[in-house]
A = this chain, B = another copy of it.
């Protein structure tokens, strides 16, 4: 195979420009590794005139990504348009129908249409790869699909939204409120146009649903991801958690249980001394656990021009080398339709509540927990001047249902002010 592999790139934002730079500036290196030259035939973006810091000389220009995807001189359609529907979806479908391989960084597209697109790829004899869609530059899709393929995967966890981790880290290290840290991240341009994609956990949830599909051989089921954003995490909880040896992370967790597939993206406490707990700032981390390998931890930049372009090029070079792997690691028709687990695996929980200064108040709280079958591991009541006292509780392992029963009963005791905070402690 010494014929060049010809790319058509749709979307020339940061990542697209990064890919063009690698293809232009590292031609000899990637040809040596890919076993053949890698070239660009055509590109497409919204604004032709924009300066992207790299020459587009010699590339045909298309206004329509669907037209680009179908060009005869394109072997691989590189989809960097973004968005779960619209042009990204139409062009990806057109490329696959035409039997062209597709490399995409689009997590939303795959989270919503992964199964149908994987089927379309197989029908067209094409491959559809998406390393750049999950955890930026970390080659985690490859590690899970290929390197760890000899394992029954038991759990995958990840901090996969750098913006959320940045906000939580700043709240802890600089004592900022959520609103202040959010504003700071916004000022630095870290937030998506719709910030809820970040802070609502949606973006990270998309990524988690893709990893779950590979890990458990199931059809992507983003709608079944239990989503909770970081908007309700308070600086008080971050401080108290730190005091007890934990960090608060927006943590994705998926595992296959006897009750079905569990997929959660929510603020959790993790031990401060664990690799996840030590992850500060915008860096991403994915932890993969398998029955053979034990625990593998992958850490690296989750976004940005270079890291994301690196992931795109990894997929492109795979294709140049002739590697053909099913989108989610096995033929789409063999992926099971997973039953979502209705209840989460039992875990310890962190509780914070404001206790009214009444005689017997603490006893009442302890009683409702005990009645619901929730046992207490550690409890702290902080000294106070007001008529309410903050109480911190770490429970032993319990079901969320038992905990919710206890929390509901707590309201009835009339010794607790406001709604108690409950955060899961993920055992890592």
Contacts and interface: CB of A to CB of B under 8 A. Distances in A.
Given A299-B296, A306-B291, A139 B146 contact: yes
A370 interface: no
A322 B324 contact: yes
A267 interface: no
A32 B297 CA distance: 25
A275 interface: yes
Going nearest first, the 3 A-B pairs with the smallest beta carbon separation are A139-B147, A150-B313, A137-B293
B34 A149 contact: yes
25 contacts: A32-B217, A35-B331, A131-B147, A137-B292, A137-B294, A137-B296, A139-B148, A139-B296, A142-B142, A143-B143, A146-B146, A149-B314, A150-B310, A151-B313, A275-B275, A275-B278, A292-B309, A292-B313, A293-B306, A296-B298, A297-B299, A321-B324, A321-B325, A322-B323, A323-B325
Contact of A292 (B294, B299, B306): B306
Contact of A149 (B30, B148, B301): B30
Contacts of A300: 293-297
Interface residues of A, number: 60
Nearest to A22: B150
Give the secondary structure class of A's interface: mixed
Copies per assembly: 2
A410 interface: no
A256 interface: no
B314 A152 contact: no
Nearest to A23: B150
A313 B149 contact: yes
B317 A149 contact: yes
Contacts of A329: 33
Max count, chain B CB within 10 A of own CB: residue among A142, A150, A334: A150
A312 interface: yes
Interface in A323-337: 323-326, 329-331, 334
Nearest to A31: B330
A106 to B, nearest CB: 18
Interface string A28-65: 01101111000000000000000000000000000000
A26 interface: yes
Interface of A: 18, 22, 26, 29-30, 32-35, 131, 137-139, 142-143, 146-152, 217, 273, 275, 278, 290-301, 304, 306-307, 309-314, 316-318, 321-326, 329-331, 334
Given A143-B143, A296-B138, A324-B321, A310 B32 contact: no
Contacts of A152: 26, 29
Contacts of A299: 275, 296-299
A312 B293 CA distance: 11
Nearest to A317: B149
A292 B307 contact: yes
A299 B323 CA distance: 26
Contacts of A290: 310
A148 B312 CA distance: 10
A18 B292 contact: yes
Contacts of A275: 275, 278, 299
A301 B294 contact: yes
Max count, chain B CB within 10 A of own CB: residue among A30, A137, A147: A147
Contacts of A323: 146, 321-325
Contacts of A316: 150
Nearest to A275: B299
A22 B131 CA distance: 27
B22 A310 contact: no
A150 B307 contact: no
Contacts of A301: 293-295
